[in-house]
Amino acid sequence: MSKNLVIVESPAKVKTIKKFLGSNYEVDASGGHVRDLPKSQLGIDIEHDYEPKYITIRGKGDILAKLRREVKKADKIYLATDPDREGEAISWHLIKALKLDEARDKKIYRISFNEITKNAVKTSLKEPRVIDMNLVDAQQARRMLDRMVGYLISPLLWTKVKRGLSAGRVQSVALRMICDREEEISSFIPEEYWNLEASLKAKGSKRKLSAKYYGTKDGRQAIHNKEELDAIVKDLEGCSYTVSEVKKGERIKRAPIPFTTSTMQQEAAKTLNFSTQKTMRLAQQLYEGVDIKGRGTVGLITYLRTDSTRVAAEADAAARAFIGEQYGNDYVSQGGQEKKTDAKIQDAHEAIRPTDITLTPVQVKESLGRDLFRLYQLIWKRFTASRMQPAVYETTSVKVAAGERLFSLSASLIKFDGFLSVYMQDEDKEEGGILTETLEKGMELGLVELVSSQHFTQPPAHFTEASLVKAMEEQGIGRPSTYAPTITTIIARRYVAKENKNLYVTELGEVVNGMMKQAFPSIVDLAFTANMEYLLDGIGDGSVQWKTVIENFYPDLAEAVKEAEDKLDAVKIADEVTEEICENCGRNMVIKYGPHGRFLACPGFPDCKNTRPYLEKIGVACPKCGKDIVLRKTKKGRKYYGCVDNPDCDFMSWQKPSKEVCPECGSMMLEKGNKLLCSDKNCGFVQAKTED
């Protein structure tokens, strides 16, 4: 009887897969990659056709030794690493590290499965294939490009900023996106507008109806200021309010498409408050297998790194049958919700879905931890909803005339809940209310009161992890496997601070981004990076040669690094002498640069180890107490402006205060890009900033 060896990536999968196979199969794990480029050098032979120099990863020697012993005993070796570019490369590296290509008496096969179920694993063994070198080369090219950017640019940052910083091909672009958004927010000038609502009553009714100001018969009209509002209110004096139009209709809300990596991360962040890293860690556990009471170890979801919304025919049919049984045939959709994707490599995958739709969240709840359960429930509900009929709303839209002016009110009522019976997002819960009154054209309404409110337009929102993932996907920056690690890296390196879900650039991040934009504009250019991703996808489908991409990229990068070394000014941050005196030894303290930004340190180190926060004065007096305003940072590194006398004085501003005072109300002015804005929102005075 022949012996078979199945090698997977994660030890967590071993138990799950072993259960599906007979005693003739041994299952073992590589623990991910076993070979990589060396950490001590670039690891790419520039002089000899850009050949990578791979070495065994430290700590993997024992794993490889064990696998070699298993290989000797086996007649057939099945490489069952993950079904993506990275997994394909790991299988190829295993062949090289275990010298399987030299073992002539062994039969080597590559198998892959999108879900860890008995049927999927057994089917893959019947459909073995050879290594897809296009996918391997796509991974090699990506790894080498990332290595080139990291190893050539990072030492330059060390030299110029004098601290251990780093650059990355995707992380530097993500940092730029956050910095660009911060600039948009910082330079945003709010614009005033007003809302006007008429509180109305139908004759004989006690209920009030709230109608919003619409405009005139010529069309919708915005109210920009108090003067316009007063003119409208004056026009309405003595007017009667009459229903001029009643429209009834139907609105269809389509079911959502199944999750991709990106949309799963976004929805988990929005509804469960999970970071992208946490979502991927939990999804990995659900994919690899969880002990379910009465069933043993079960892989609960399909592969978690995908940008495809395709669903296998078998899973689609099973979902429709389940929905028909549980909810009724009226709830089964006629066609699945999918979208086309431009990313070619991942299109071979499916969307993220439960491996068995009959394993409902209720059935597995006792077997899962709280967060695992919540993510599984989200994935299960989303997939089930994607196979269900749209929701149907009955809508009513009413126009109320008052002289030449029009007000409007609308309402909607669920006529058929469809997919909403399973999956309801926040926006679904906020649908228009029910119109309890029966309104007909020509009906007169009584005015209770007119209610006006002043508002200001809001700046673009700060990026959250979820919205950054969405923006990266839309711009073609990174791929499903890179979103979470990229965000984790820029937060870990303190280029970006995360506070209350929002991402803020730190002082350190501003320095690095500024240098990257100055010295390496193409590396942080969104279009250039998106095109590079497209080329890497092209390598994966065989339309682009990987060495061509590498040899076109490296010379330009090397030249840019050389120019930057010669021309880029060092950032003058470290060791700048100040007038601050060390209270321990009397020396003038100096400005140092640490992981969190600038701080004051005694130059007498190590004899004197005194340090203090560095508070940069900006030359503006505090409007509350008259003392200096200084640049401060939150615990996580976000910049703000506060009084030097904090905590005794609580003045703070996210915007930089100006010496100018508002000529209209006398309040402090704040810098907003090239404008100055009154700090009193009720005033709203704006003027151009004059150069000092």
Q: Residue 314 is which amino acid? A: E
Strands 107-110 and 76-79: parallel
Cα(399)–Cα(212) distance, rounded to whole angstroms? 10
Residues listed for the chain: 692
Is 303 a catalytic site residue? yes
Three-class secondary structure of residue 557 per DSSP = helix
- Pick the closest to residue 645 from 631, 623, 625 (CA basis): 625
Q: Which residue in 78, 109, 241, 303 is the catalytic one?
A: 303
Asked if residues 47 and 322 have their Cβ atoms less than 8 Å apart, the reply is no
SS (H, E, C) 622-645: CCCCCCEEEEEECCCCCEEEEECC
- State the Cα–Cα distance between residues 662 and 670, nearest whole angstrom: 10
Question: Which residue's structure tokens are 């250019």?
Answer: 525
Find, among 527, 508, 511, the residue nearest to 519 by Cα. Answer: 511
User: And the tokens for 517?
Assistant: 């934009």
Q: How far is CA 299 from CA 114, 295, 304, 366, 383, in A?
A: 11, 11, 12, 16, 16
Structure tokens that stand for 38 in this block: 């060396």
What are the backbone dihedrals phi and psi of residue 200, each rounded to the nearest 5 degrees, phi first?
Answer: -125, 160
Question: Going by DSSP bridges, is the β-strand pair 55-56/639-643 parallel, antiparallel, or unpaired?
Answer: unpaired
Helices 276-288 & 483-492, crossing angle to 10 degrees? 140
Distance from C-alpha of 450 to C-alpha of 464, rounded to nearest angstrom: 38
Nearest by Cα to 320 from 309, 332, 331, 328? 332
Contacts of 137 (CB under 8 A, 6+ apart): 539, 540, 546
Residues 92, 100 contacting (CB under 8 angstroms) = no
User: Where would I find the beta strands (DSSP E) of 368-433?
Assistant: 391-402, 405-416
What are the DSSP calls for 221-287, one per residue? --B-SHHHHHHHHHHHTT--EEEEEEEEEEEEEPPPPPB-HHHHHHHHHHHH---HHHHHHHHHHHH
Strands 296-298 and 241-253, by their bridges, are unpaired
Report which DSSP code applies to 16. H
C-alpha 653/C-alpha 253 separation (Å) is 43
Helix (H) or strand (E) holding 474: helix 465-475
Specify the amino acid at residue 690.
T
Pick from 95, 124, 92, 97: nearest CA to 17: 124
Contacts of 269 by beta carbon, 8 Å cutoff, 6+ apart:
275, 276, 279, 464, 465, 466, 501
Q: Which residues are catalytic?
A: 303
